[in-house]
Amino acid sequence: MMPLTSTSHRALMERSMKSIPGGVNSPVRAFGSVGGDPIFFASAQGATLVDVHGKEYIDLINSWGPMILGHNHTDVIDALREQLDRAVSFGAPTVQEIELAELVRAMVPSVDLIRMVSSGTEACMSALRLARGYTGKNKFIKMEGHYHGHADPFLVKAGSGLATFGIQHVPGITEGTAQDTLVCPFNDISAVENMCDKHQGEIAAIILEPVAGNMGCIPPAAGYLQAIRQICDDQDIVLIFDEVMTGFRLAAGGVQELASVTADLVTFGKVIGGGLPVGAFGGKREIMSHIAPLGQVYQAGTLSGNPLAMTAGHVTLSHLHEHPEYYARLEHTGKRLAEGLQQAFDHIGITVAINQLGSMISVHFSEVPVTDFSSASGSDISTFNRYFHHMLEHGIYLPPSAYESWFLSLSLTDEHIDHIIHTTKKFS
Ligand SMILES: *Cc1c(COP(=O)(O)O)cnc(C)c1O
Protein backbone atom coordinates (compact mmCIF):
# COMPACT_ATOMS: atom_id res chain seq x y z
CA MET A 1 0.00 0.00 0.00
CA MET A 2 1.35 3.44 -0.97
CA PRO A 3 2.04 5.58 2.09
CA LEU A 4 -0.43 8.46 2.20
CA THR A 5 1.94 10.80 3.93
CA SER A 6 5.30 10.76 5.65
CA THR A 7 3.99 13.12 8.33
CA SER A 8 4.26 11.42 11.73
CA HIS A 9 1.20 10.44 13.76
CA ARG A 10 2.36 12.91 16.40
CA ALA A 11 2.47 15.79 13.88
CA LEU A 12 -0.95 14.83 12.49
CA MET A 13 -2.34 14.77 16.04
CA GLU A 14 -0.87 18.21 16.76
CA ARG A 15 -2.47 19.51 13.58
CA SER A 16 -5.79 17.87 14.43
CA MET A 17 -5.81 19.32 17.94
CA LYS A 18 -5.78 22.83 16.47
CA SER A 19 -9.25 22.25 14.99
CA ILE A 20 -10.81 19.32 16.84
CA PRO A 21 -11.12 19.06 20.65
CA GLY A 22 -8.40 16.65 21.79
CA GLY A 23 -7.77 15.89 18.10
CA VAL A 24 -10.54 13.27 18.02
CA ASN A 25 -14.26 13.16 17.23
CA SER A 26 -14.97 10.56 19.93
CA PRO A 27 -12.96 10.38 23.18
CA VAL A 28 -12.26 6.62 23.11
CA ARG A 29 -10.11 7.17 20.02
CA ALA A 30 -7.65 9.32 21.94
CA PHE A 31 -4.81 7.43 23.58
CA GLY A 32 -5.57 9.39 26.76
CA SER A 33 -5.40 6.33 29.00
CA VAL A 34 -2.71 4.23 27.27
CA GLY A 35 -0.48 7.19 26.37
CA GLY A 36 1.28 7.88 23.07
CA ASP A 37 -0.23 9.08 19.81
CA PRO A 38 -3.33 7.68 18.08
CA ILE A 39 -2.71 6.00 14.72
CA PHE A 40 -4.12 7.71 11.63
CA PHE A 41 -5.49 5.12 9.24
CA ALA A 42 -5.70 5.20 5.46
CA SER A 43 -7.32 1.95 4.33
CA ALA A 44 -8.38 -1.51 5.38
CA GLN A 45 -9.09 -4.92 3.87
CA GLY A 46 -10.52 -7.95 5.63
CA ALA A 47 -8.87 -8.20 9.05
CA THR A 48 -6.08 -5.78 8.18
CA LEU A 49 -5.81 -2.05 8.80
CA VAL A 50 -3.25 0.09 6.99
CA ASP A 51 -2.06 3.35 8.52
CA VAL A 52 -1.07 6.51 6.64
CA HIS A 53 2.54 5.27 6.45
CA GLY A 54 1.61 1.88 5.00
CA LYS A 55 2.15 -0.10 8.25
CA GLU A 56 -0.32 -2.98 8.69
CA TYR A 57 -2.21 -4.04 11.79
CA ILE A 58 -4.54 -6.92 12.68
CA ASP A 59 -7.80 -5.22 13.66
CA LEU A 60 -9.40 -6.26 16.95
CA ILE A 61 -11.71 -3.23 17.17
CA ASN A 62 -13.52 -3.39 13.83
CA SER A 63 -14.81 0.15 14.16
CA TRP A 64 -16.04 -0.78 17.69
CA GLY A 65 -18.16 -3.56 16.29
CA PRO A 66 -19.81 -2.73 12.94
CA MET A 67 -17.27 -4.43 10.64
CA ILE A 68 -18.27 -7.96 11.63
CA LEU A 69 -17.75 -9.22 8.05
CA GLY A 70 -14.30 -7.64 7.96
CA HIS A 71 -13.34 -4.48 6.10
CA ASN A 72 -14.30 -3.69 2.51
CA HIS A 73 -16.46 -6.76 1.98
CA THR A 74 -17.00 -6.95 -1.79
CA ASP A 75 -20.78 -7.26 -1.57
CA VAL A 76 -21.11 -4.28 0.76
CA ILE A 77 -18.84 -2.12 -1.37
CA ASP A 78 -20.54 -3.14 -4.65
CA ALA A 79 -24.00 -2.39 -3.24
CA LEU A 80 -22.82 0.99 -1.95
CA ARG A 81 -21.38 1.83 -5.39
CA GLU A 82 -24.69 0.99 -7.05
CA GLN A 83 -26.57 3.13 -4.54
CA LEU A 84 -24.11 6.00 -5.05
CA ASP A 85 -25.01 5.98 -8.74
CA ARG A 86 -28.69 6.37 -7.84
CA ALA A 87 -28.78 8.92 -5.01
CA VAL A 88 -27.29 9.72 -1.63
CA SER A 89 -30.30 11.06 0.28
CA PHE A 90 -33.91 12.09 -0.20
CA GLY A 91 -35.46 12.72 3.21
CA ALA A 92 -38.43 10.75 1.85
CA PRO A 93 -39.39 7.07 1.97
CA THR A 94 -37.27 4.51 0.12
CA VAL A 95 -37.55 0.77 -0.51
CA GLN A 96 -34.18 0.26 1.21
CA GLU A 97 -35.72 1.22 4.56
CA ILE A 98 -38.48 -1.37 4.23
CA GLU A 99 -35.95 -4.04 3.26
CA LEU A 100 -33.78 -3.45 6.31
CA ALA A 101 -36.81 -3.23 8.64
CA GLU A 102 -38.20 -6.51 7.28
CA LEU A 103 -34.84 -8.24 7.64
CA VAL A 104 -34.47 -7.09 11.26
CA ARG A 105 -37.98 -8.37 12.03
CA ALA A 106 -37.07 -11.73 10.45
CA MET A 107 -33.92 -11.98 12.58
CA VAL A 108 -35.30 -10.56 15.84
CA PRO A 109 -38.79 -11.95 16.54
CA SER A 110 -39.55 -9.49 19.38
CA VAL A 111 -39.52 -6.59 16.91
CA ASP A 112 -43.01 -5.82 15.56
CA LEU A 113 -42.17 -2.27 14.56
CA ILE A 114 -38.78 -0.61 14.16
CA ARG A 115 -37.68 3.01 13.72
CA MET A 116 -34.31 3.78 12.09
CA VAL A 117 -32.08 6.52 13.50
CA SER A 118 -28.45 7.44 12.90
CA SER A 119 -26.63 6.29 16.05
CA GLY A 120 -26.88 4.07 19.09
CA THR A 121 -27.19 7.17 21.24
CA GLU A 122 -30.31 8.27 19.39
CA ALA A 123 -31.75 4.76 19.58
CA CYS A 124 -31.36 4.57 23.38
CA MET A 125 -32.55 8.09 24.15
CA SER A 126 -35.61 7.58 21.91
CA ALA A 127 -36.41 4.19 23.47
CA LEU A 128 -36.26 5.75 26.95
CA ARG A 129 -38.51 8.65 25.90
CA LEU A 130 -40.96 6.14 24.45
CA ALA A 131 -40.96 4.03 27.62
CA ARG A 132 -41.64 7.17 29.66
CA GLY A 133 -44.34 8.38 27.29
CA TYR A 134 -45.97 4.96 27.23
CA THR A 135 -45.96 4.38 31.00
CA GLY A 136 -46.40 7.98 32.14
CA LYS A 137 -43.58 7.41 34.65
CA ASN A 138 -40.28 9.29 34.88
CA LYS A 139 -37.58 7.27 36.57
CA PHE A 140 -35.59 4.42 35.08
CA ILE A 141 -32.95 1.96 36.22
CA LYS A 142 -29.59 1.50 34.51
CA MET A 143 -26.62 -0.61 35.56
CA GLU A 144 -23.30 0.69 36.78
CA GLY A 145 -20.64 0.63 34.02
CA HIS A 146 -23.19 0.15 31.23
CA TYR A 147 -23.09 2.61 28.35
CA HIS A 148 -26.16 3.68 26.41
CA GLY A 149 -24.68 6.52 24.40
CA HIS A 150 -24.18 10.09 25.48
CA ALA A 151 -27.73 11.38 26.03
CA ASP A 152 -28.02 13.19 29.39
CA PRO A 153 -30.02 10.63 31.41
CA PHE A 154 -27.50 7.86 30.70
CA LEU A 155 -24.34 9.69 31.71
CA VAL A 156 -24.55 8.62 35.32
CA LYS A 157 -22.05 5.94 36.41
CA ALA A 158 -21.52 5.00 32.78
CA GLY A 159 -18.93 2.75 31.16
CA SER A 160 -16.90 3.13 27.96
CA GLY A 161 -15.00 6.44 27.67
CA LEU A 162 -16.34 7.68 31.02
CA ALA A 163 -14.75 4.69 32.75
CA THR A 164 -11.57 5.06 30.71
CA PHE A 165 -11.16 8.72 31.59
CA GLY A 166 -12.42 8.35 35.18
CA ILE A 167 -15.33 10.77 34.65
CA GLN A 168 -17.68 10.22 37.62
CA HIS A 169 -19.83 13.27 37.20
CA VAL A 170 -20.50 14.99 33.87
CA PRO A 171 -20.77 18.78 34.10
CA GLY A 172 -23.82 19.95 32.17
CA ILE A 173 -26.09 17.11 33.31
CA THR A 174 -28.61 18.85 35.57
CA GLU A 175 -29.60 17.50 38.97
CA GLY A 176 -33.16 17.34 37.70
CA THR A 177 -32.11 14.93 34.99
CA ALA A 178 -29.79 12.86 37.17
CA GLN A 179 -32.38 12.35 39.89
CA ASP A 180 -34.52 10.25 37.56
CA THR A 181 -31.62 7.93 36.76
CA LEU A 182 -31.43 5.08 39.28
CA VAL A 183 -28.27 2.99 39.19
CA CYS A 184 -27.79 -0.63 40.30
CA PRO A 185 -24.68 -2.80 40.14
CA PHE A 186 -24.79 -5.27 37.23
CA ASN A 187 -25.52 -8.92 38.01
CA ASP A 188 -27.10 -8.08 41.39
CA ILE A 189 -30.79 -8.90 41.26
CA SER A 190 -31.55 -7.97 44.87
CA ALA A 191 -30.26 -4.45 44.18
CA VAL A 192 -32.88 -4.15 41.43
CA GLU A 193 -35.60 -5.55 43.70
CA ASN A 194 -34.72 -3.07 46.45
CA MET A 195 -34.64 -0.15 44.02
CA CYS A 196 -38.05 -1.12 42.62
CA ASP A 197 -39.48 -1.41 46.15
CA LYS A 198 -38.13 1.98 47.08
CA HIS A 199 -39.57 3.65 43.96
CA GLN A 200 -42.77 1.66 43.57
CA GLY A 201 -44.94 3.01 40.75
CA GLU A 202 -42.30 5.52 39.61
CA ILE A 203 -40.13 3.42 37.30
CA ALA A 204 -40.81 3.60 33.55
CA ALA A 205 -38.01 1.35 32.34
CA ILE A 206 -35.07 -0.85 33.11
CA ILE A 207 -32.38 -0.53 30.44
CA LEU A 208 -29.29 -2.69 30.34
CA GLU A 209 -26.70 -4.24 28.09
CA PRO A 210 -27.81 -7.88 28.41
CA VAL A 211 -24.18 -8.86 27.85
CA ALA A 212 -22.13 -5.91 29.06
CA GLY A 213 -19.53 -4.69 26.61
CA ASN A 214 -18.46 -1.26 27.81
CA MET A 215 -16.48 -2.30 30.88
CA GLY A 216 -14.85 -5.18 29.12
CA CYS A 217 -17.10 -8.07 28.17
CA ILE A 218 -19.20 -9.26 31.12
CA PRO A 219 -21.90 -11.89 30.57
CA PRO A 220 -25.02 -11.90 32.78
CA ALA A 221 -25.10 -14.29 35.75
CA ALA A 222 -27.31 -17.37 35.33
CA GLY A 223 -30.98 -16.41 35.74
CA TYR A 224 -30.26 -12.67 36.03
CA LEU A 225 -32.00 -11.57 32.81
CA GLN A 226 -34.97 -13.85 33.53
CA ALA A 227 -35.32 -12.33 37.01
CA ILE A 228 -35.27 -8.80 35.57
CA ARG A 229 -37.93 -9.81 33.04
CA GLN A 230 -40.10 -11.06 35.91
CA ILE A 231 -39.73 -7.82 37.90
CA CYS A 232 -40.70 -5.78 34.82
CA ASP A 233 -43.77 -7.96 34.26
CA ASP A 234 -44.84 -7.70 37.90
CA GLN A 235 -44.48 -3.91 38.09
CA ASP A 236 -45.44 -2.74 34.57
CA ILE A 237 -41.91 -1.62 33.80
CA VAL A 238 -40.72 -1.51 30.18
CA LEU A 239 -37.68 -3.76 29.72
CA ILE A 240 -35.21 -2.29 27.23
CA PHE A 241 -32.31 -4.42 26.03
CA ASP A 242 -29.57 -2.21 24.67
CA GLU A 243 -28.23 -4.49 21.96
CA VAL A 244 -26.32 -1.74 20.15
CA MET A 245 -23.18 -3.81 20.65
CA THR A 246 -24.53 -7.36 20.96
CA GLY A 247 -27.28 -7.21 18.33
CA PHE A 248 -26.45 -9.32 15.24
CA ARG A 249 -23.02 -9.93 16.80
CA LEU A 250 -23.62 -12.63 19.39
CA ALA A 251 -26.48 -14.26 17.46
CA ALA A 252 -28.83 -13.31 14.63
CA GLY A 253 -31.42 -12.50 17.31
CA GLY A 254 -28.88 -11.06 19.74
CA VAL A 255 -28.93 -11.82 23.46
CA GLN A 256 -32.71 -12.15 23.38
CA GLU A 257 -32.14 -15.30 21.32
CA LEU A 258 -29.14 -16.55 23.32
CA ALA A 259 -30.82 -16.14 26.72
CA SER A 260 -34.40 -16.85 25.57
CA VAL A 261 -35.56 -13.64 27.22
CA THR A 262 -37.82 -11.24 25.33
CA ALA A 263 -37.43 -7.51 25.92
CA ASP A 264 -40.25 -5.02 25.34
CA LEU A 265 -37.98 -2.68 23.42
CA VAL A 266 -34.55 -3.30 21.93
CA THR A 267 -32.00 -0.83 20.62
CA PHE A 268 -29.52 -1.43 17.83
CA GLY A 269 -26.49 0.29 16.35
CA LYS A 270 -23.04 -0.74 15.17
CA VAL A 271 -23.51 -3.99 13.11
CA ILE A 272 -26.94 -2.86 11.86
CA GLY A 273 -25.23 -0.15 9.78
CA GLY A 274 -22.39 -2.29 8.43
CA GLY A 275 -19.98 0.62 9.01
CA LEU A 276 -22.32 3.48 8.09
CA PRO A 277 -24.17 5.56 10.71
CA VAL A 278 -27.30 3.61 11.66
CA GLY A 279 -29.11 3.00 14.91
CA ALA A 280 -32.60 1.66 15.47
CA PHE A 281 -35.11 0.90 18.18
CA GLY A 282 -38.02 -1.45 17.99
CA GLY A 283 -40.21 -3.88 19.84
CA LYS A 284 -43.80 -4.51 20.81
CA ARG A 285 -46.39 -2.99 18.51
CA GLU A 286 -48.43 -1.81 21.49
CA ILE A 287 -45.54 0.32 22.74
CA MET A 288 -44.06 1.33 19.37
CA SER A 289 -47.46 2.62 18.24
CA HIS A 290 -46.96 5.57 20.57
CA ILE A 291 -44.20 6.95 18.35
CA ALA A 292 -45.10 9.86 16.04
CA PRO A 293 -46.78 9.95 13.55
CA LEU A 294 -48.82 7.05 14.98
CA GLY A 295 -48.76 8.54 18.48
CA GLN A 296 -47.63 11.58 20.43
CA VAL A 297 -44.11 10.55 21.45
CA TYR A 298 -42.09 12.67 19.05
CA GLN A 299 -38.94 11.38 17.42
CA ALA A 300 -37.43 12.35 14.08
CA GLY A 301 -34.26 12.58 11.98
CA THR A 302 -33.28 14.34 8.73
CA LEU A 303 -30.95 11.54 7.68
CA SER A 304 -32.78 8.65 9.40
CA GLY A 305 -33.08 5.67 7.06
CA ASN A 306 -30.51 7.16 4.70
CA PRO A 307 -30.33 4.92 1.61
CA LEU A 308 -26.55 4.47 1.65
CA ALA A 309 -26.63 3.51 5.33
CA MET A 310 -29.62 1.18 4.83
CA THR A 311 -27.77 -0.51 1.96
CA ALA A 312 -24.61 -1.21 3.98
CA GLY A 313 -26.73 -2.50 6.86
CA HIS A 314 -28.92 -4.65 4.68
CA VAL A 315 -26.05 -6.38 2.88
CA THR A 316 -24.25 -6.99 6.18
CA LEU A 317 -27.31 -8.41 7.94
CA SER A 318 -28.25 -10.48 4.88
CA HIS A 319 -24.92 -12.29 5.08
CA LEU A 320 -25.46 -13.02 8.76
CA HIS A 321 -29.05 -14.10 8.16
CA GLU A 322 -28.17 -16.42 5.29
CA HIS A 323 -25.16 -17.95 7.04
CA PRO A 324 -26.12 -19.06 10.55
CA GLU A 325 -22.83 -21.00 10.62
CA TYR A 326 -21.00 -17.64 10.81
CA TYR A 327 -21.87 -17.45 14.51
CA ALA A 328 -20.28 -20.84 15.14
CA ARG A 329 -17.19 -19.60 13.30
CA LEU A 330 -17.04 -16.43 15.40
CA GLU A 331 -17.40 -18.54 18.57
CA HIS A 332 -14.57 -20.78 17.36
CA THR A 333 -12.35 -17.76 16.73
CA GLY A 334 -13.27 -16.21 20.09
CA LYS A 335 -12.65 -19.40 22.01
CA ARG A 336 -9.34 -20.09 20.27
CA LEU A 337 -8.22 -16.56 21.16
CA ALA A 338 -9.43 -16.75 24.77
CA GLU A 339 -7.82 -20.14 25.44
CA GLY A 340 -4.61 -19.21 23.64
CA LEU A 341 -4.30 -15.91 25.52
CA GLN A 342 -4.93 -17.67 28.84
CA GLN A 343 -2.09 -20.11 28.08
CA ALA A 344 0.18 -17.29 26.91
CA PHE A 345 -0.37 -15.27 30.09
CA ASP A 346 0.09 -18.40 32.24
CA HIS A 347 3.33 -19.00 30.34
CA ILE A 348 4.68 -15.52 31.13
CA GLY A 349 3.35 -15.61 34.70
CA ILE A 350 0.77 -12.80 34.52
CA THR A 351 -2.65 -13.28 36.12
CA VAL A 352 -5.58 -12.27 33.92
CA ALA A 353 -9.36 -12.60 33.95
CA ILE A 354 -10.49 -13.31 30.38
CA ASN A 355 -14.19 -13.07 29.55
CA GLN A 356 -15.34 -14.21 26.13
CA LEU A 357 -18.67 -14.79 24.51
CA GLY A 358 -18.71 -15.39 20.75
CA SER A 359 -16.87 -12.55 19.05
CA MET A 360 -16.59 -10.37 22.17
CA ILE A 361 -13.62 -10.82 24.45
CA SER A 362 -11.82 -8.84 27.12
CA VAL A 363 -8.63 -9.28 29.07
CA HIS A 364 -8.54 -7.75 32.54
CA PHE A 365 -5.28 -7.78 34.44
CA SER A 366 -7.13 -8.89 37.54
CA GLU A 367 -6.61 -11.47 40.28
CA VAL A 368 -10.38 -11.88 40.70
CA PRO A 369 -13.13 -12.80 38.23
CA VAL A 370 -14.66 -9.73 36.53
CA THR A 371 -18.45 -9.76 36.95
CA ASP A 372 -19.42 -6.11 37.46
CA PHE A 373 -18.04 -2.58 37.37
CA SER A 374 -16.29 -2.75 40.70
CA SER A 375 -14.32 -5.88 39.78
CA ALA A 376 -13.64 -4.43 36.30
CA SER A 377 -12.23 -1.23 37.75
CA GLY A 378 -10.03 -3.16 40.20
CA SER A 379 -7.85 -4.39 37.32
CA ASP A 380 -4.25 -3.29 36.77
CA ILE A 381 -4.45 -0.49 34.20
CA SER A 382 -0.70 0.15 33.91
CA THR A 383 -0.02 -3.46 32.85
CA PHE A 384 -2.83 -3.20 30.30
CA ASN A 385 -1.28 0.00 28.93
CA ARG A 386 2.13 -1.66 28.52
CA TYR A 387 0.49 -4.70 26.90
CA PHE A 388 -1.45 -2.42 24.52
CA HIS A 389 1.76 -0.75 23.30
CA HIS A 390 3.59 -4.08 23.01
CA MET A 391 0.82 -5.40 20.77
CA LEU A 392 0.61 -2.16 18.75
CA GLU A 393 4.33 -2.24 18.09
CA HIS A 394 3.91 -5.77 16.71
CA GLY A 395 1.03 -4.75 14.43
CA ILE A 396 -1.97 -5.73 16.55
CA TYR A 397 -4.57 -3.02 17.09
CA LEU A 398 -6.43 -3.40 20.40
CA PRO A 399 -8.89 -0.90 21.88
CA PRO A 400 -6.84 1.80 23.61
CA SER A 401 -8.57 1.21 26.95
CA ALA A 402 -8.64 -1.49 29.60
CA TYR A 403 -12.43 -0.97 29.79
CA GLU A 404 -13.27 -1.81 26.20
CA SER A 405 -14.19 -5.17 24.79
CA TRP A 406 -12.36 -6.46 21.71
CA PHE A 407 -14.51 -7.23 18.66
CA LEU A 408 -13.63 -10.04 16.30
CA SER A 409 -14.59 -10.20 12.63
CA LEU A 410 -15.25 -13.06 10.25
CA SER A 411 -12.08 -12.10 8.39
CA LEU A 412 -9.83 -13.22 11.26
CA THR A 413 -8.17 -16.56 10.48
CA ASP A 414 -6.63 -19.10 12.83
CA GLU A 415 -3.25 -17.80 11.64
CA HIS A 416 -4.14 -14.27 12.80
CA ILE A 417 -5.23 -15.65 16.17
CA ASP A 418 -2.06 -17.70 16.56
CA HIS A 419 0.02 -14.63 15.72
CA ILE A 420 -1.81 -12.64 18.44
CA ILE A 421 -1.17 -15.42 20.97
CA HIS A 422 2.47 -15.76 19.93
CA THR A 423 2.96 -11.99 20.26
CA THR A 424 1.39 -12.08 23.74
CA LYS A 425 3.95 -14.71 24.81
CA LYS A 426 6.69 -12.18 24.05
CA PHE A 427 5.17 -9.62 26.46
CA SER A 428 7.04 -9.05 29.67
C1 LIG B 1 -21.80 2.09 21.22
C2 LIG B 1 -22.93 1.93 22.14
C3 LIG B 1 -23.94 2.90 22.25
C4 LIG B 1 -23.87 4.23 21.56
O5 LIG B 1 -23.87 4.11 20.18
P6 LIG B 1 -23.32 5.35 19.29
O7 LIG B 1 -23.59 4.91 17.89
O8 LIG B 1 -21.86 5.47 19.63
O9 LIG B 1 -24.08 6.55 19.67
C10 LIG B 1 -25.04 2.62 23.04
N11 LIG B 1 -25.12 1.45 23.70
C12 LIG B 1 -24.18 0.50 23.62
C13 LIG B 1 -24.34 -0.78 24.36
C14 LIG B 1 -23.04 0.72 22.86
O15 LIG B 1 -22.08 -0.20 22.83
- The number of residues in the chain equals 428
Coil, strand or helix: which one is 203? Answer: strand
Pairing mode, if any, of strands 265-268 and 279-283? antiparallel
Q: How confident is the model at residue 158 (pLDDT cuts 50, 70, 90)?
A: confident
Distance 427 CA to ligand 1 centre (A): 32
Coil, strand or helix: which one is 398? Answer: coil
E runs forming strands in 259-319? 265-268, 279-283
Return the pLDDT at 224: 98
Q: In the chain, what percentage of residues exceed pLDDT 70? A: 100
For residue 1, pLDDT over 70 is answered with: no
Q: Is 298 a catalytic residue?
A: no
Burial of 322: CB neighbours in 10 Å, binned 0-12, 13-18, 19+: exposed
* Tens-place pLDDT, residues 293-314: 999 999 999 999 999 999 999 9
Give domain 74-322's CATH architecture. Answer: 3-Layer(aba) Sandwich (3.40)
Q: Return the closest-CA partner of residue 240 out of 214, 268, 205, 211.
A: 205
Distance 166 CA to ligand 1 centre (A): 18
Interhelix angle 74-86/307-322, nearest 10 degrees: 150
| From 268, 270, 362, 401, mutation site for ligand 1 pocket: most ligand atoms within 8 A of C-beta | 270
Residue nearest to atom 11 of ligand 1 (CA): 148
- For 310: left if phi > 0, alpha if psi spans -120 to 50, otherwise beta; the answer is alpha
Return the pLDDT at 325: 97
Distance 128 CA to ligand 1 centre (A): 14
Q: Is 270 a catalytic residue?
A: yes
Question: Helical H runs in 29-94?
Answer: 74-86
**Ligand 1 atom at shortest distance from the alpha carbon of 242:** 13
- Ordered by start, the domain boundaries in the chain are 9-72+324-425, 74-322
Distance 281 CA to ligand 1 centre (A): 12
**Bridge partner residues of 265 (DSSP):** 240, 283
Half-sphere exposure of 104 (CA within 13 A, CB side): 31
Q: How confident is the model at residue 374 (pLDDT cuts 50, 70, 90)?
A: very high
Q: Is 147 a catalytic residue?
A: yes
* Tens-place pLDDT, residues 164-186: 777 778 899 999 999 999 999 99
Around ligand 1, the residues with Cβ closer than 6 Å are: 119-121, 124, 147-149, 209, 213-214, 242, 244-245, 269, 279
What average pLDDT does the chain have? 96
Choose which CATH entry (3.30.230.10, 3.90.1150.10, 3.40.50.300, 3.40.50.2300) describes domain 9-72+324-425.
3.90.1150.10
Residue nearest to atom 6 of ligand 1 (CA): 120
User: How large is the average pLDDT for residues 265-290?
Assistant: 98
User: How large is the average pLDDT for residues 251-277?
Assistant: 98
Question: Which one from 147, 224, 397, 403 is the annotated catalytic residue?
Answer: 147
Model pTM greater than 0.85?
yes
User: How large is the average pLDDT for residues 356-384?
Assistant: 95
